[in-house]
Structure 1
Amino acid sequence: MNQRILVTPRSLTAEPHPEVERLRDLGFEIVYSTAGAMPTEQELMTLVPDCVGWLAGVEPVTPKIIAVAEKLKVISRNGVGVDNLPIETLNQRGVQIMIAEGANSLGVAELTIGLIFSAMRSIPLADAGIKSGGWPRVRGMEVRGRTIGVIGCGAIGREVARMAIALGANVIAFDPARPNLDLPSASFSYAEVDEIVAQADILSLHCPLPRDGSALLTEERLALCKQGQVIINTARSKLIDEAALIDALEDGRVGAYATDVFDEEPPTSLTLAAHPRVIATSHIGGFTTESVERATRIAADNLLTALRA
């Protein structure tokens, strides 16, 4: 019997990808979750037994699922985030975790810039207004000369910083490693998080959660933000205290919040998503033709490396 590999990312179950199907040609049996849908815990518990490899997406993976995955040797993500995985449980079981380093960075960075323009120029509001028979005209703001705060200067954050500077913005960034991004000092500098929150016209998040799992933008930090600040989140929903964010949106301290990530996807509560100052997209940051190709190729290669070791 061929070794089984479970494939669960929605971008790959909706339509089988050649990079995944080539694993079949190499002697593996491919098991897909429900096409185009986020798999539930129960579905994963049904599918994962007898699988030696798992090409995983952003679906929540619980210790209960891993408990029945007795033959599992490796989980290969088609992205870089591992917040959805029970890391401690996997380490205890000796299951290898692999990521598609850098595969989605350009797609997510470009979406970030798109969300900045959407928020600064109220593009979704204008579009919806015209389609409903109106002619809304909201005075916008230009990016050139603005201060953009970038939290996290990994593969995505550094691309956002480069693009923002190319648009004429000034970037202040936080990253504990302070990598050399080879950007002009007249337009780029490092600072601490509180300083960035207080100074930035636009704040963009590209970092993991704090080690203790708490929010980065707490009620106290949001109180520091520049009046009318635009916040972009293409990283993780839990980076922001949602209740405090809603309060800040209501009183105008946060002028707009544009996000590609939610605690539940799709969100069951629309309190945040449907707020008039919120621009919401459906986790499409890495969902470009090019990003899917890169991520799938890397994730499949990672599976082969681990399973043939």
Structure 2
Amino acid sequence: MADRIVVTPRSAYGHPAVERIRAAGYEVDFPAPGAVPTPAQLHAALADSVGYLAGVEPVTRSLLRAAPRLRAISRNGTGADAIDLTAAEELGVKVLRAPAANAQGVAELTVALMLAAARQLPSVASAIRGGEWARREGIELSGRTLGVVGAGQIGRRVISVALALGMRVRAFDAYPDDSYAATAGEGFAYATLDEVLATADVLTLHAPPAATPLVDAGALAALPSGAILVNTARASLVDESAVLAALDSGALRAYATDVYAVEPPGASALTRHPRVIGTAHIGGYTRESVDRAMAAAVDNLLHVLDSDRERSGDE
């Protein structure tokens, strides 16, 4: 019997990259085709599996302990927030990522949200659908300052568009790259986080998960009045209660987000707020990003499993 690989990303069902797993001699198991599997479905599927191409579902210690043959988990993206990495390391399960596969898609969504917030596009479009002629004043981004937290693959793509629009850019990064700063173009500079907050007419987040919110009440108070906040990174970076208070007071012009503390978030004071633009975690959900991510995830998984298989054969 062929070794089994469990595949759970919704976008993977029917994707041609999965056929390469079968062609390599592995059995493919979709525990919940086109849907997020339940914990019970995952436990049953992983019990005798050697590989796991994982989606957004939680991968807990108990789940990993119930999969004694599992050797590798491959994510079709960069984030591994849902995986108990400590347990995986202890149990000898490799966790593989597909860095930058969705960078272009997330960057383009970030720019779209910036522009939508500046021109109040969702409320204007909604009014037209309702038969209203609502001409709401917007702002132009040219001449304003974009603050970027995290100038990696996604942040740099956003920066290039912002500079082309005529914005100044100030970026905070834990590991500033002098060679990038020298070539980014006029108008770009690295800065401290305090400097970024103090000058950002638009603040966009592209940082890894945080134990405590990076954008809390203090950070929001440091922003210029009427700033726009965009979050296509991680919900943990933002104190949602503080954001709601800043929107209500007028300190924030708008909050545009693709990520939430609980997904789906349901209806709440934040999601219903008239100056919140919410999208359903679609940053990397483009045809091109899905193709790149799936190809990379399959490549990573097969590389590890085939190498293990070859070593076992040598032994």
Preserved contact between residue 160 and residue 184 of structure 2 (Cα < 8 Å): no
Measure, in 2, the Cα distance between the counterparts of 1:90 and 1:17: 27
Tell me which of 103, 109, 112 is aligned to 1:105. Answer: 103
Preserved contact between residue 151 and residue 204 of structure 1 (Cα < 8 Å): yes
Unaligned runs of 5+ in 1: none
Q: Which residue of 2 aligns with 1:12?
A: 12
Tell me which of 29, 32, 46 is aligned to 2:44. Answer: 46
TM-score normalized by structure 2? 0.93
Measure, in 1, the Cα distance between the counterparts of 2:175 and 2:258: 26
Measure, in 2, the Cα distance between the counterparts of 1:116 and 1:217: 17
Give the CA deviation at 1:236.
0.5
Q: Which residue of 2 aligns with 1:295?
A: 293
Preserved contact between residue 148 and residue 200 of structure 1 (Cα < 8 Å): yes
| Alpha-carbon distance change, 223 to 41 in structure 1, aligned in 2, over 3 angstroms | farther
Name whichever structure is richer in helix by fraction. 2
**Residue 237 of structure 2 is aligned to residue 244 of structure 1:** no
Preserved contact between residue 237 and residue 263 of structure 1 (Cα < 8 Å): yes
Q: Secondary structure at the match of 2:277?
A: strand
TM-score normalized by structure 1? 0.95
Measure, in 2, the Cα distance between the counterparts of 1:272 and 1:35: 32
Measure, in 1, the Cα distance between the counterparts of 2:53 and 2:71: 12
| Alpha-carbon distance change, 221 to 292 in structure 1, aligned in 2, over 3 angstroms | same
Measure, in 2, the Cα distance between the counterparts of 1:268 and 1:281: 12
Preserved contact between residue 55 and residue 299 of structure 1 (Cα < 8 Å): yes
Q: How many residues align?
A: 305
Give the CA deviation at 1:160.
0.8
- Rg: which structure is higher? 2
Measure, in 2, the Cα distance between the counterparts of 1:19 and 1:205: 31
Q: Which residue of 2 aligns with 1:209?
A: 209
RMSD between superposed Cα atoms in Å: 1.4
Preserved contact between residue 4 and residue 29 of structure 1 (Cα < 8 Å): yes
Measure, in 2, the Cα distance between the counterparts of 1:69 and 1:249: 46
Preserved contact between residue 41 and residue 62 of structure 1 (Cα < 8 Å): no
Select between 25-34 and 280-289 the one with higher mean Cα deviation.
25-34
Q: Secondary structure at the match of 2:63?
A: helix
Q: State, as a whole percentage, how many aligned pairs show the same letter.
A: 46
Give the CA deviation at 1:264.
2.1
Unaligned runs of 5+ in 2: 308-315
Measure, in 1, the Cα distance between the counterparts of 2:107 and 2:75: 19
Q: Secondary structure at the match of 1:295?
A: helix
The CA deviation string for residues 174-204 of structure 1, in whole angstroms up to 9 with x for no partner, is 1111023244553101111122112101000
Measure, in 2, the Cα distance between the counterparts of 1:194 and 1:237: 21
Q: Which residue of 2 aligns with 1:76?
A: 74
Measure, in 2, the Cα distance between the counterparts of 1:222 and 1:114: 22
Measure, in 1, the Cα distance between the counterparts of 2:9 and 2:81: 15
Measure, in 1, the Cα distance between the counterparts of 2:37 and 2:146: 37
